[in-house]
Chain A
Amino acid sequence: MRARVTVYPRREILDPQGKAIRAALERSGFEGVREVRAGKSFELDLGQVDAAGAAVRVAAMCEQLLANTIVEEYEIEVLSGAQAGATGGSAAEGRQVR
C-alpha cells in the first residue's frame, strides 16, 4: 500500500513563499491567479497493510514528524492501483485532511 502526504502552511498563517510565487506568476503573464500555496509532498511505500491501517499509520506519522501542526496542515491520500504504480484500480482509495 502506498500513500501520499501533502503538507501546507496552515491557512491562517502567512505563506510568504506562496505569495512570492504568485507574484512571479503574475509577472510572467499568468494573470488571475488568486492564491498559491507552497507545500511539500511525501510518497510512502507502506508494505503490506490494508487501506484503513495505512490511513491510521500515516496520520500518526504526520502528527509526530511529517508535519508540524502548529504551523502546518496535512492531507493524506491512500493510493492503490496505477496511480500508486501497482496493478489494478486507478483511483485514490481515501483522502484525509487535517
Chain B
Amino acid sequence: MRCGVVLFPGSNCDHDVFHVLKHVLGQEVTFLWHEERSLKACELIVLPGGWSYGDYLRGGAMAALSPVMQAVREHAARGGPVLGICNGFQVLTEAKLLPGALRQNAGLRFACVDVYLRVERTDLPFTSHYRKGQVLKLPIAHGEGNYEHFDAELDRLEADKRIVFRYVNPSGELDPAWNFNGSARAIAGICNEAGNVLGLMPHPERSSEELLGSTDGLGLFQSILEMTVPKVAGAPRKLMGVAR
C-alpha cells in the first residue's frame, strides 16, 4: 500500500510512523509536506504526532487549515483511510473530520506514560487484527488529550459504536485512575461515521517492535494494510488535488 505521512511544521513522530510502515511492514511510504495540494497517489494518509504550527490558538487549529488538509478531506470523502495519531487526532477534530475536541488534560500535566486501551470494535479497517475486548498497552505523550463533546453527542457516539478505543486498567476494566487525561467516557480513539477516518491519542507507532517493549500497536497498521482502498487511479482529477 502506498502510504503518505503528512509533515506539519512541528511534527515529530513522522519518522516513527515512516519507519514502522516502511521498515517493519515493507510498504511504500512518502512524506507529504503541509503545503502540498496533492496526496501523490497515496492510499493511506497518516497525520502523525508532535506539534503543528506551534499549536497556536488550540492544538491542531492552524494545521486544520493548511493546504494539504483540503486534499486529505477529499481523500476521506472518497473513503480513503486516514489515521490521526496524537496531534494528528487533534488536527482531525479541528478539521471537523472527527467530532469533538481535545482539551488540556484534566490534571493539567503533560502525560508521558504507558496506558491500557480496550478495543471496542473489530469490524473496522483499523482494528481487524485485534479481538473485541483485547487490551493493548500503548504509550501516550500529550498535554491536550482530554476528549470532550456535548453529552448528547457522546451518547450518539456510543450508540453509533464510534468509540474504537477506551482507556482501561490493565485488566481491561473502566477505571478513572487509568484515564490519565480525564477524557469523557474514557475515549482514547474514535472513528467517523463511515469508519475510514480514525483518531487516537496513544502512539501505536511507538509500540510496533519488540525492542520498544510492546508490539500491541502493530496490529493497527497491519489491519489497514489489509483493507480494500478505493482505487486512486480511477478518482476524478480534482479529487486527486492536482488543481494547483
Chain A residues with CB under 8 Å of B100's CB are 70
Which size class do A's interface residues fall under? 10 to 19
Q: Chain A 10-43 against B: per-residue CB contact (8 Å), 1 yes, 0 no?
A: 0001101100100000000000000000000000
The contact string, 1 if C-beta is below 8 Å from chain B, for chain A 41-62, is 0000000000000000000000
Residues in B57-81 with C-beta less than 8 Å from chain A: 57-58, 61, 65
Residue of A nearest to B62 (CB): A65
Q: A13-B148, A65-B61 are in contact. Are A70 and B107 (CB under 8 A)?
A: no
The binding surface of chain B is classed by DSSP as loop
0 or 1 for each of B139-180: is its CB under 8 Å from A? (1 = yes): 000000000111000000000000000000000000000000
A65 to B94, CA, bound (A): 9
| Interface assignment of B19: CB less than 8 Å from any CB of chain A | no
Taking a contact as CB atoms under 8 Å apart, the answer to whether B150 and A16 are in contact is no
**Once the chains bind, are A16 and B104 in contact (CB under 8 Å)?**
yes
Query: B117 interface residue, CB < 8 Å from A?
Result: no
When the two chains form the complex, which single residue of A16, A17, A20, A68 contacts B101, counting CB atoms closer than 8 Å? A68
**What is the minimal beta-carbon distance from A3 to any residue of chain B, in angstroms?**
17
| Contacting pair A71 B148 (CB below 8 A) | yes
A92 at the interface (CB under 8 A from B): no
Given contacts A68-B94, A70-B149, contact A17 B61 (CB under 8 A): no
Does B233 have its Cβ within 8 Å of any Cβ on chain A? no
Once bound together, how far apart are the Cα atoms of A16 and B107, in whole Å?
7
Q: CB distance A70 to B108 under 8 Å?
A: no
Partner of A71, one of B57, B103, B105, B108: B103
A66 contacts partner chain B, Cβ-Cβ < 8 Å: yes
How near does chain A come to B194, taking the closest CB pair, in angstroms?
Answer: 21
Residue pairs across A and B with Cβ atoms less than 8 A apart, 17 shown, are: A13-B148, A14-B106, A16-B104, A16-B106, A16-B107, A16-B108, A17-B108, A65-B61, A65-B65, A66-B57, A68-B58, A68-B94, A70-B148, A70-B150, A71-B101, A71-B103, A71-B148
User: Chain B: residues with CB nearer than 8 A to chain A?
Assistant: 57-58, 61, 65, 94, 100-101, 103-108, 148-150, 182
- Residues of A with Cβ closer than 8 Å to B? 9, 13-14, 16-17, 20, 65-66, 68, 70-71
